[in-house]
Chain A
Amino acid sequence: MLLKLEEVTKRFGGLVAVNSVSLEIDEGEKVGIVGPNGSGKTTLYNVISGVYAPDGGRIFFEGKEITNLPAHERTKLGIARTFQVPRPFGSATVRENVAIGAMFGRANAGVDEALEMADRYLEMVGIYELREKEAKLLTPLEKKLMELARALAMKPKLLLLDELLAGMNPQDINRILDLINKVKEEENIATIAMVEHLMHAITKFAERVVVMHQGSKLIEGPTMEVLNHPKVVEVYLGEKLKIG
C-alpha cells in the first residue's frame, strides 16, 4: 500500500469540499480520478500533497502517517504533482525549473547532477530546445510539459497529475500518455491522473477509476465498468427523463 486516505474531510467554512473520502493506491498503480467541475478533485490533491491539512481523517504514505506533515516533507518522501494552472518559477529558465524539482524532490540531487537530470527529462517530454528560455515565456502547453518534466525529475513514488492533458490535441495526448506509461514501467511510479472530461484518455491510461461527486467518492472500480455505470452517466449527463 503506497497511499491510504482514511475518511478524509476538508471544509472551507460551510462548504464541505472533500467529504469523508477513503482511498487506497498501490505501488505502481495507474488510477484515474474523474468528476465534474467542483466535485472536490483539486482539493483532494491539495490535501494529499500537503497544501491543506485535512479537517478530519488520516493520511498514510508507505504505512507512515503523514496527516500533519508539511508539504515539503511529503515531497521528500516521494509525492510529486503538477498544477491545473501551471505554476512555473517565472524568471528562472526552463532547465532551472526542472533542476529545482530534481534538487528538492525525492531525487535530492546536487546542483550539477540536477541540471543534468533536467536536460534528460526535458528531452523526454520533448521541450529540450526550450531549456534556456525563461519559464514565464512558454506557451501554456509548454508550461504543462515543463511541469511534467519537473515532477518526473523529483523521482516520485506517487505522481499526481492535475488536468495535465486538458487543452492538448489528440496527438500530444497520445504522446504524453505513452511517455507516462513508459516512465511508469521504468521507475515504478504510481500515477493518479485527474480529468474532468477526457474520458477517452482515461480509458487509455487508468486501470482503475474513482469518480468524485460533490466532494464524495461516488464509485470506484475497473475503468470501463465504472465509466459505463448508470450512476456515473447520471452525474455527467443528468437523470434519464421519465416519460409517462
Chain B
Amino acid sequence: MRNYTPLVTLLLIYAVMIAIGQGIQGMWQPIMLVIFYIAVGQALNIFLGMTGYVNFGYVALLGVGAYGMAVALGYYTDLGLIPALTLGFILAILLAFIVSMVVGGIALRLRGAYFAIATIGVNEGIKYLILGGKIWGGSSGIVLSGILRKAYGAETMRFLSTVFADAGLIVVAILSGVITMYILNSRLGYGLIALREDEDAAKVMGINVRRYKQIAFVISCILAGLIGATAWTLKLTYVFPQDVFAINYTVEAIVIVMLGGAGTLLGPVVGGLIYALLKYYLTIAFPGMQLLILAPLLIIVILLFPEGVVGYLAKAARGTRFEKFVR
C-alpha cells in the first residue's frame, strides 16, 4: 500500500536540525552546510538512485540555476524586487529544464557507463561556453551585492542573502524529499525501479523506459537548478563560472547518495549529515588534512553498508513497528 509515513521521519529530522541551528550559538552555518548537502543529494537521488544512471554533469544544473537567478537579479533589477526574484526562479527552472531536455534527449539513448561518460562533457561545455562566449559577464561573472544594495537597500540585501536564501534552500530540500516520496509511491517510481533492475525486462513489461528516465532526469535537474539559485546566487550574491561549474560537487553528491542509500527517501538526508558533518569538523580539527582522513572513513561506511545506511536500516526495521517510518 502507499506509505507516506517516512515523511514524518524526514520532517522530524529537519525540525531537529533547525532547532539546533537556531538554539545553539554558532550552529546555524554548519546546519545550513548540512542542508545544502542533503538537498544536493536528494535532488540527484531522484535520478541516480531511482534509475541507477550516473549523471556526471550534475553540477552544471546547479550552475545554470545559479545563473538564472543571477541574470534576473543583475540585469532585470528595475522590475522591482518581487518580480525580479520571481523571474529568477522561473529562469533557474527554465534553464535547468532546457539543459536537461537537451542532454537527456541525447545522452539517455546511451546505456549505463556510456551515459555517464557522455555527461562528463556537459559541465565543462557550458562553463567554457560562458567563459569563451563572454556570456553573462564571462569570466568576471555576475556580482550582485552592489547592484542589490543600490536598488533595494542594504537591509533588504542582507535579508535576501541570509534569511531568504536559507529558507529558500530548506524549502527546496524538503520539496525534493516530498517529491521523492511521491515518486516512490507512484507508477513512475515502480517503473523506475523496474528499469533500474533490468532495463530490457522493463521494456517487455510495458514500461516506456526512455520516457521514464527522461522524466526522472528532468525533475532531478530542475531541483538542482533551484538549489543553485538559492544556495549559491542568493546566499553568496555572486556567480563565477569557475565556482559554479566545479565538478567536485557532482562527486560529493554521488558519494552522499551512495553513503545514505540510493533510491531511498532518507538516504540523502543521512548521507548528507554524515558527509557534511565529517567534512566540516575534520576541516576544523585537521586543517589541510581533512580529505585524507575523510576518504578512508567514507570507504569504511560504504564497506559496512553496501546498500547505504538507510538501505541497511530499512531492512533491519522490516517486521518491527519502525518499518513504516524508514524508507
**Cβ proximity bits B190-219 to A, threshold 8 Å, 1 near / 0 not:** 110110111011111111110000000000
Q: Which 8 A-B pairs have the closest CB atoms?
A: A75-B206, A104-B206, A89-B197, A87-B201, A71-B203, A89-B194, A72-B208, A72-B206
CB<8 Å pairs between A and B, sample of 27? A49-B204, A50-B203, A51-B200, A51-B203, A70-B203, A72-B204, A87-B198, A87-B200, A87-B201, A89-B197, A91-B193, A91-B196, A92-B190, A92-B197, A96-B190, A96-B193, A100-B191, A100-B193, A100-B205, A101-B205, A103-B187, A103-B190, A104-B207, A105-B206, A106-B206, A111-B185, A132-B318
CB of B140 within 8 Å of the partner chain: no
CB of B1 within 8 Å of the partner chain: yes
A binding-site residues for B, Cβ under 8 Å: 49-51, 70-72, 75-76, 81, 83, 87-92, 96, 99-101, 103-106, 110-112, 114-115, 132, 150, 154
Q: B interface, by DSSP: helix, strand, loop or mixed? A: helix
**Cβ proximity bits B169-200 to A, threshold 8 Å, 1 near / 0 not:** 00000000000000001110011011011101
7 other contacts beyond A70-B208, A81-B204, with CB at 8 A cut-off? A72-B209, A75-B206, A89-B193, A89-B194, A91-B197, A100-B190, A115-B1
Closest-CB distance, A93 to chain B (whole angstroms): 10
Q: How far is the CA of A81 from the CA of B268 in the complex (A)?
A: 37
Closest-CB distance, A65 to chain B (whole angstroms): 19
* Number of B interface residues in the complex (CB < 8 A): 23
Contacts of B186 in A (CB 8 A): 111
A154 and B206 contact, CB distance less than 8 A: yes
Contact A89 to B201, CB < 8 A, known contacts A111-B2, A111-B190: yes
Nearest B residue (CB) for A86: B201
Contact A75 to B1, CB < 8 A, known contacts A92-B197, A111-B185: no
Closest-CB distance, A192 to chain B (whole angstroms): 15
B204 and A71 contact, CB distance less than 8 A: yes
Contact A92 to B203, CB < 8 A, known contacts A111-B2, A111-B187, A112-B2: no
Q: How far is the CA of A195 from the CA of B2 in the complex (A)?
A: 40
Contact A75 to B204, CB < 8 A, known contacts A111-B186, A115-B1: yes
Closest-CB distance, B293 to chain A (whole angstroms): 32
Nearest A residue (CB) for B186: A111
A50 and B197 contact, CB distance less than 8 A: no
Q: How far is the CA of A92 from the CA of B194 in the complex (A)?
A: 8
B205 and A154 contact, CB distance less than 8 A: yes
Which of A51, A88, A96, A115 is within 8 Å of B204, CB to CB? Answer: A51
Which of A70, A104, A115, A132 is within 8 Å of B205, CB to CB? Answer: A104
Contacts of A87 in B (CB 8 A): 198, 200-201
Contacts of B191 in A (CB 8 A): 100, 103-104
Nearest B residue (CB) for A89: B197
Closest-CB distance, B304 to chain A (whole angstroms): 19
A150 and B205 contact, CB distance less than 8 A: yes
Q: How far is the CA of A79 from the CA of B209 in the complex (A)?
A: 17
Closest-CB distance, B307 to chain A (whole angstroms): 8
Q: How far is the CA of A112 from the CA of B187 in the complex (A)?
A: 10
Q: How far is the CA of A88 from the CA of B203 in the complex (A)?
A: 13
Closest-CB distance, A19 to chain B (whole angstroms): 24
Nearest B residue (CB) for A71: B203
B197 and A72 contact, CB distance less than 8 A: no
Q: Which of B271-303 contact A (CB under 8 A)?
A: none
